[in-house]
Chains A and B, each alone.
Chain A
Amino acid sequence: MIGLFERFGNLMLSTFEEIGRWWQMLFRTAFWSVRRPFEFGEWLRQMVRVGVDSIPVVTLTAMFTGMVLALQTFNGFQRVHAENFVGSVVALSMLRELSPVLVGLMVTGRVGSSMAAEIGTMRVTEQIDALESLATNPIHYLFVPRVIAGITMLPLLTLFGNALGLYGGRLVTVNLLHANPVLYDQNTYQFLEMNDLTSGLIKAAVFGLILSLTGCTKGYYTTGGAEGVGRATTDSVVMSSLIILLSDFFLTKFLF
């Protein structure tokens, strides 16, 4: 019985430690992000890694999500003779919710994990200590470019995902299910507000911060050799995905 309490206590402690560490790293990254020297080359490299290299994955994800969304909605709406509103549903769902969340999750798997693995390997091979010994703060050199890339690239990827999702939805509804194209387009844009787009993009920026900072932090605190790197990688994906899904609800509820 005591053992049970002890385990529960340890779990709570480590959870709070983890949360505290995350916020500490956020503040340290913010502190160093305005310090010289600015490694613009490194910033650019990370932006390419997060942004450009994720385009194929985002293309497929967004496109097929838009397509299946149209297929399902059409199926349901047909029963109540509302198939003309498929366009509105697809557009609203993609812009406000699906595009930012799915892009966030896909990029977490692709890039967040590799950040954890890369920085984790640098930790266990003493490369992070080497950075410090060369008068270079590892937060400054490793975290800042990655987090900036996350915050800037995720909204862009989401914007791209929005366009493809809308296109995918239209493709299915108009070309496959032979709905009226004019009505479809009209209903797609008629009910959209600017806030639908911006709220999705702001969410995406927050997700970008979450996945990059979590990946970096998990890597930074890696212990225990190759096995530790593996653990850090898995943890970073699980934790980022969870925080993204939880924060998604609260962001939607309170901000928009």
Chain B
Amino acid sequence: MNANRKYDPMISLRDVSKAFGGKTVLDKLSLDVAPGETVVIVGGSGTGKSVMLKHIIGLIRPDSGHIVVAGQDLCCQTPLELNQFRRLFGMSFQEGALFDSMSVFENIAFPLRRNTDKSEKEIRDRVQECLELVHLDGVESKRPSELSGGMRRRVGFARAIALEPDILLFDEPTTGLDPVISDVVAELIVEMDERLGTTTVTITHDMKVAFKIADRIAMLYKGRLIEAGTPEQFRASPNPIVQQFIEGRAVGPLTED
């Protein structure tokens, strides 16, 4: 698990640009994430936060710029190398993205069955371990459709950590959850982060969650990172756009255009 200390920075985005159908989503964006660091990217809806996260794991390729993760440049990998490369990652998706044709147990066992030679018993133990880590019990045989939103997220977390990844990516981990469950999920992220020692990138528009889990917060606006710093620095930012976003005001530079 500490193999990731070898690379510094663990994740490096250099001048990454991406446009969809003429609309620029990322505009020469650069970001470094140190090993073991927890970075939270905040920003309004539709500012390209998810797009950025999907670049890091190679689900989307940039139009220009370089992405280097754990010493590997994502530009020039064959499909087989890319598959191998993805084992570094655990990713949690917005609505959980659980495989709805499988039970909770099969969902978490899926990456283990596909990518390891573990025996059936070892798989069962590992699934149990992962479920304990996200504080779930007795849901193994349930279908994803039978779970609440918060539970689905947690099963998603459990599946993401099953292969003991070096890097965890969270895409809007608390969107659509009530404030209490949001806080529970945020605490869980902090706890997982501490116990697993992973490098973590989270994107959210929930400032409470951001302040709770981040070592460093960055704000994405118009395809660029306009502010980055520790939670204290971020909170004290003189940038009116950042201030408007933190306070969640309807009037300000964010809503002017």
Interface residues of A (CB under 8 A from B): 28, 31, 35, 37, 122, 125-127, 129-130, 132-137, 141
7 smallest CB-CB distances across A and B, nearest first, come from A133-B91, A130-B97, A126-B97, A135-B86, A134-B111, A126-B93, A135-B87
Of all chain A residues, the one with the shortest Cβ separation from B89 is A133
Contact A135 B111 (CB under 8 A): yes
B97 close to A136 (CB less than 8 A): no
| CB pairs A–B below 8 angstroms (16 shown) | A127-B98, A129-B54, A129-B93, A130-B99, A133-B57, A133-B59, A133-B86, A133-B160, A134-B163, A135-B84, A135-B87, A135-B114, A135-B115, A136-B111, A137-B79, A137-B83
Please indicate the chain A residues that have their CB under 8 angstroms from the CB of B94 in the complex.
126
Q: With an 8 A cutoff between CB atoms, is B18 at the interface? A: no
Residues from chain B with Cβ under 8 Å of A133 in the complex: 57, 59, 86, 89-91, 93, 160, 169
When A and B form their complex, what is the total count of cross-chain residue pairs whose Cβ atoms lie within 8 Å?
62
Of A28, A31, A35, A125, which contacts B97 at CB under 8 A?
A125
B95 within 8 A of A: yes
Q: A32: shortest Cβ distance to chain B, in Å? A: 8
Tell me the nearest residue of chain B to A35, going by C-beta: B80
Q: Which of B85-116 contact A (CB under 8 A)?
A: 86-87, 89-91, 93-95, 97-100, 110-111, 114-115
A129 and B79 form a contact (CB under 8 A): no
**Cβ-closest chain B residue relative to A128:** B97
Residues of chain B in range 152-202 having any CB-CB distance to chain A below 8 Å: 159-160, 163, 169
A137 CA to B111 CA, complexed, in Å: 12
Return A155 CB to nearest CB of chain B, in Å.
27
A130 in contact with B93 (CB, 8 Å): yes
A127 and B91 alpha carbons, distance in the complex (Å): 12
Q: Which residues from chain B contact A130 at a C-beta distance below 8 Å?
A: 91, 93, 97-99, 159
> Are A127 and B83 in contact, with the CB atoms below 8 A?
no
Taken together as a complex, chains A and B put the C-alpha atoms of A137 and B59 apart, in Å, by 11
Given contacts A134-B159, A135-B114, A136-B114, contact A127 B59 (CB under 8 A): no
B98 contacts across to A, CB distance below 8 A: 127, 130
Q: Which residues of B contact A (CB under 8 A)?
A: 54, 57, 59, 79-80, 83-84, 86-87, 89-91, 93-95, 97-100, 110-111, 114-115, 159-160, 163, 169
Contact: A135 with B59, CB < 8 Å?
no
B160 proximity list for chain A (CB < 8 A): 133
Q: How far is the CB of B41 from chain A (nearest CB, A)?
A: 17
Chain B CB count within 10 A is highest, among A122, A129, A134, A136, for A134
**CB distance B114 to A37 under 8 Å?**
yes
User: Contacts of B159 on A, CB cut-off 8 Å?
Assistant: 130, 134
Q: Which residue of A lies closest to B169 (CB)?
A: A133
A172 to chain B, nearest CB (A): 43
CB distance from A230 to the nearest CB of B (A): 18
| Cα(A35)–Cα(B81), bound, Å | 13
Q: What chain B residues lie within 8 Å of A132 (beta carbons)?
A: 57, 59, 86
| Residues of A close to B99: CB separation below 8 A | 122, 127, 130
B100/A127 in contact, CB under 8 A: yes
B171 nearest CB neighbor, chain A only: A126
Known A133-B89, A134-B111, A135-B163; 14 more pairs at CB < 8 Å: A31-B79, A37-B114, A122-B99, A125-B95, A126-B94, A130-B99, A130-B159, A132-B59, A133-B90, A133-B160, A134-B159, A134-B163, A136-B83, A136-B115
CB distance from B146 to the nearest CB of A (A): 16
Q: Which residues of A contact B59 (CB under 8 A)?
A: 129, 132-133
**Chain A residues within 8 Å of B163, by CB:** 134-135
- Interfacial chain B residues near A129, Cβ < 8 Å: 54, 59, 91, 93, 97
| Contact between chains at B114 and A134 (CB < 8 Å) | yes
Report the bound CA distance from A122 to B90 in whole Å: 19
Checking A126, A134, A137, A141 against B95 with a beta-carbon cut-off of 8 angstroms, the contacting residue is: A126
Shortest C-beta distance, B55 to chain A (Å), equals: 12
Complex Cα distance, B86 from A135, in Å, reads: 5
Given the complex of chains A and B, what is the CA–CA distance between A37 and B115 in angstroms? Answer: 8
Closest-CB distance, A216 to chain B (whole angstroms): 15
Q: A134 touching B110 by the CB < 8 A rule?
A: yes
Which chain A residues lie closer than 8 Å to B80 at the CB level? 35
Least distance between B84 CB and chain A CB atoms (Å): 7
Tell me if B87 and A127 are in contact (CB < 8 A): no
